[in-house]
């Protein structure tokens, strides 16, 4: 696919006017009380980041937020289409809103996100869930203010699935969920078309944000006290290719890393086909960049990698890993794996097992193949029964548990810099995380949440560490 230059546009004046108008009508309807929104986000960090924009636009439209759907004037589910299970959960939870709508007929129920870009899903919602008043896809985020206004005022159902996937919109207000841990999208969409994956169909073509916009947002976050910033993209290694003045991802992170402050810089996701030495060198030489590389390999078998359209083989993947281990002292490696891709045999699967033994990942995100409508792999012959795939999956989990336990026990006695993230409700202990993304549980004061501390690792329980400050 040829790469074309993509220029960003600002959120239009018109959308700001719609936010103002919504605030005015809601103030009259609620007699001066703030209307409340309930937002539930499914799926990956891209969706979390989109929800933060939606919350920003809702706040400017006069809304406050609630954790209880029963108190809400507006309910929105931001959905994920990556696996069938994710979609089934959404359908189940939307179905459950029917009674709520009956009890509170004035409530506006809305659905957005990746699932809504699938035509068959939008049709099903339209026909089977008449209480859903507003539906919009990932390409329509920048006119959410107008869609919200129209749904509230016209009282008609509004369904919009855009096809505007070659644009980037800047200037959308963001209301971040966290105060010290935050997401920073650097690009949208994906051009890779791995044969199992729905993302390119629901998120559109790959497009990068301008470097200067990202740098100033990073600066703002760092000055605002953010301690853990994750740069987001489906394939961050191809960042910058669609810009008028192309920039590599390694250049981008080096420039962010040069910003003064006390913070960690992370990123995801890296695609092994273009994870360059330059990038690994940038991590090795960075001041703030976490010594952590999430590099999904999906399968250890070359035959399956080819069928998946991944454009690397086992040898190339292992070379990248070898270089990362050599250059980045104490690097923590994590990955995604799909078990039971169509045509995978037990022999292929054993190559996945041998690869994880060889690399010794800190942790893994493991999935059983789920056929997605409209992707090539949906039509591939898939003779292995589900029970057999579940057995392989369990075998994979057992092997990884052994590896993680070994890796974690090797850390006992070491001192690690950790970011204290939260207080455990049950025990009152602190939850912290290392730069390599390993969870550490500690005793300490709740006041420490949001600060960096040094923790001595005293014990390893499977993949979780215990420590003292
Ligand atoms: N862009 C990222 C991943 C996005 S989706 C990357 O390329 O690494 C996150 C993970 O979900 C993928 O890495 C893959 O392991 C899994 N996944 C995607 N589609 C899937 C499907 N149809 N069935 C099972 N797992 C899938
Ligand atoms: Fe999906 Fe592949 Fe793109 Fe990742 S790189 S989002 S797995 S198509
Ligand atoms: Fe799901 Fe969309 Fe992310 S399909 S995994 S929420 S990009």
pLDDT at 15 over 80: yes
241-263 pLDDT, tens digit per residue, is 989 999 999 999 999 999 999 99
Specify whether 112 is located in the same domain as 153: yes
pLDDT class for 315, splitting at 50, 70, 90? very high
Asked if residue 3 is part of any domain, the answer here is no
| Contacts with 290 (C-beta within 8 Å, 6 or more apart), sequence order | 264, 265, 266, 283, 332, 435, 436, 437
Specify whether 396 is located in the same domain as 298: yes
Q: How far is CA 227 from the centre of its chain?
A: 18
Mean pLDDT of 216-243: 96
The confidence score (pLDDT) of residue 407 equals 87
Among 408, 427, 454, residue at a domain's last position: 408
Asked if residue 9 is part of any domain, the answer here is no
Specify whether 208 is located in the same domain as 289: yes
Specify whether 86 is located in the same domain as 230: no
Do residues 434 and 377 touch, judged by C-beta distance below 8 A? no
Alpha-carbon distance values, 13 to 21, 141, 142, 172, 445 (Å)? 12, 15, 11, 11, 47
* Percentage of the chain lying above the pLDDT 70 cut: 99
pLDDT class for 4, splitting at 50, 70, 90? low
Q: Ligand 2 pocket test: which of 1, 47, 197 has the largest number of ligand atoms within 8 Å of its C-beta?
A: 197
What would the two tokens of residue 40 be?
């539930």
Specify whether 213 is located in the same domain as 136: no
Asked if residue 5 is part of any domain, the answer here is no
Mean pLDDT of 104-126: 96
Domain of residue 395, CATH code: 3.80.30.20
Asked if residue 216 is part of any domain, the answer here is yes
136-173 pLDDT, tens digit per residue, is 999 999 999 999 999 999 889 999 987 667 788 999 99
Asked if residue 4 is part of any domain, the answer here is no
The confidence score (pLDDT) of residue 109 equals 98
Pocket of ligand 2 (CB under 6 A): 190, 192-194, 197, 199-200, 234-235, 271
Asked if residue 167 is part of any domain, the answer here is no
Asked if residue 275 is part of any domain, the answer here is yes
Domain with 435 in it: 415-468
Pocket of ligand 3 (CB under 6 A): 43-44, 46-47, 80-82, 114, 198-199, 202-203
pLDDT at 2 over 50: no
Atom of ligand 2 nearest to the CA of 197: 1
Q: Ligand 3 pocket test: which of 202, 338, 367 has the largest number of ligand atoms within 8 Å of its C-beta?
A: 202
pLDDT at 300 over 90: yes
pLDDT at 1 over 60: no
Average pLDDT, the chain: 95
Specify whether 187 is located in the same domain as 330: yes
Among 408, 434, 453, residue at a domain's last position: 408
Compute the distance between CA of residue 96 and CA of residue 86 in angstroms, rounded to an integer: 16
Q: Mind spelling out the 3-state secondary structure of the chain?
A: CCCCCCCEEECCHHHHHHHHHHHHHHHHHCCCCCCEEEEEECCCHHHHHHHHHHHHHHHHCCCEECCCHHHCCEEEEEECCCCHHHHHHHHHHHHCHHHHHHHCCCCEEEEEEHHHHCHHHHHHHHHHCCCCCEEECHHHHHHHHHHHHHHHHHCCCEEECCCCCCCEEECCCCCCCCCCEEEEECEECCCCCCCCCCHHHHHCCCEECCHHHHHHHHHHHHHCCCCEEEEECCCHHHCCCCCCCCCCHHHHHHHHHCCCCCCEEEEECCCHHHCCHHHHHHHHHCCCECCEEECCCECCCHHHHHHCCCCCCHHHHHHHHHHHHHHCCCCEEEEEEEECCCCCCHHHHHHHHHHHHHHCCCEEEEEECCCCCCCHHHHCCCCCCHHHHHHHHHHHHHHHHHHHHHHHHCCCCCEEEEEEEEECCCCCCEEEEECCCCEEEECCCHHHCCCEEEEEEEEEECCEEEEEC
pLDDT at 461 over 90: no
Atom of ligand 3 nearest to the CA of 198: 4
Write down the pTM of the prediction.
Answer: 0.95
Residue having the nearest C-alpha atom to atom 1 of ligand 2:
197
Specify whether 304 is located in the same domain as 203: yes
The confidence score (pLDDT) of residue 175 equals 97
235 C-alpha to ligand 1 centroid (Å): 12
* Percentage of the chain lying above the pLDDT 90 cut: 91
Asked if residue 1 is part of any domain, the answer here is no
247: left (phi over 0), alpha (psi -120 to 50) or beta: beta
Specify whether 358 is located in the same domain as 450: no
pLDDT at 9 over 80: yes
Do residues 227 and 261 touch, judged by C-beta distance below 8 A? no
pLDDT class for 3, splitting at 50, 70, 90? low
236 C-alpha to ligand 3 centroid (Å): 15
Specify whether 156 is located in the same domain as 272: no
Specify whether 185 is located in the same domain as 264: yes
**What is the tally of structural domains in the chain?**
3
64-99 pLDDT, tens digit per residue, is 999 999 999 999 999 999 999 999 999 999 999 999
Compute the radius of gyration of the chain from its Cα atoms.
23
Domain of residue 437, CATH code: 2.40.50.140
């Amino acid at each position: 696919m040829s790469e074309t230059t993509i220029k960003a546009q600002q959120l239009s004046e018109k959308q700001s006017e719609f936010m103002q108008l919504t605030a005015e009508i809601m103030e009259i309807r609620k007699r001066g009380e703030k209307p409340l929104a309930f937002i539930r986000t499914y799926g990956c960090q891209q969706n979390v980041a989109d929800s933060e924009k939606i919350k920003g636009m809702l706040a400017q439209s006069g809304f406050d937020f609630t954790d209880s759907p029963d108190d809400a004037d507006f309910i929105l589910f931001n959905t994920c289409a990556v696996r069938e299970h994710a979609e089934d959960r959404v359908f189940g939870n939307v179905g459950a809103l029917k009674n709520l709508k009956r009890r509170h007929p004035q409530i506006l129920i809305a659905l957005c996100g990746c699932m809504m870009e699938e035509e068959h899903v939008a049709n099903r919602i339209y026909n089977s869930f008449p209480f859903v008043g507003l539906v919009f896809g990932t390409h329509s985020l920048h006119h959410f203010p107008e869609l919200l206004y129209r749904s509230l005022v016209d009282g008609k159902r509004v369904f919009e699935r855009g096809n505007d996937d070659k644009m980037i919109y800047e200037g959308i207000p963001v209301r971040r969920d966290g105060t010290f841990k935050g997401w920073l999208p650097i690009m949208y969409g994906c051009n890779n078309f791995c044969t199992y994956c729905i993302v390119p169909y629901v998120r559109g073509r790959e497009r990068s944000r301008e470097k200067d916009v990202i740098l100033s947002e990073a600066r703002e976050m760092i000055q605002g006290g953010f301690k853990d910033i994750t740069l987001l993209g489906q394939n961050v290694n191809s960042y910058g290719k669609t810009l008028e003045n192309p920039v590599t991802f390694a250049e981008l992170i080096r420039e962010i890393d040069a910003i003064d402050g006390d913070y960690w810089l992370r990123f995801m996701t890296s695609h092994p086909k273009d994870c360059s030495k330059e990038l690994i060198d940038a991590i090795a030489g960075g001041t703030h960049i976490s010594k952590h590389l999430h590099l999904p390999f999906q399968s250890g078998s070359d035959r399956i990698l080819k069928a998946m359209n991944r454009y690397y083989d086992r040898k190339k993947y292992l070379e990248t890993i070898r270089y990362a281990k050599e250059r980045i002292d104490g690097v923590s490696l994590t990955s995604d794996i799909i078990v039971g891709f169509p045509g995978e045999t037990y022999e292929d699967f054993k190559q996945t097992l041998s690869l994880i033994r060889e690399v010794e990942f800190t942790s893994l995100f493991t999935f059983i193949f789920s056929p997605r409508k409209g992707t090539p792999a949906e039509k591939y012959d898939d003779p292995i029964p589900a029970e057999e795939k579940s057995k392989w999956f369990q075998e994979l989990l057992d092997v990884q548990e052994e590896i993680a336990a070994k890796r974690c026990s090797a850390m006992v006695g070491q001192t690690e810099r950790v970011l204290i993230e939260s207080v455990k409700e049950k025990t009152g202990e602190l939850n912290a995380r290392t730069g390599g993304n390993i969870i550490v549980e500690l005793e300490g004061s709740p006041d420490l949440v949001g600060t960096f501390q040094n923790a001595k690792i005293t014990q390893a329980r499977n993949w979780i560490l215990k420590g003292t400050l």
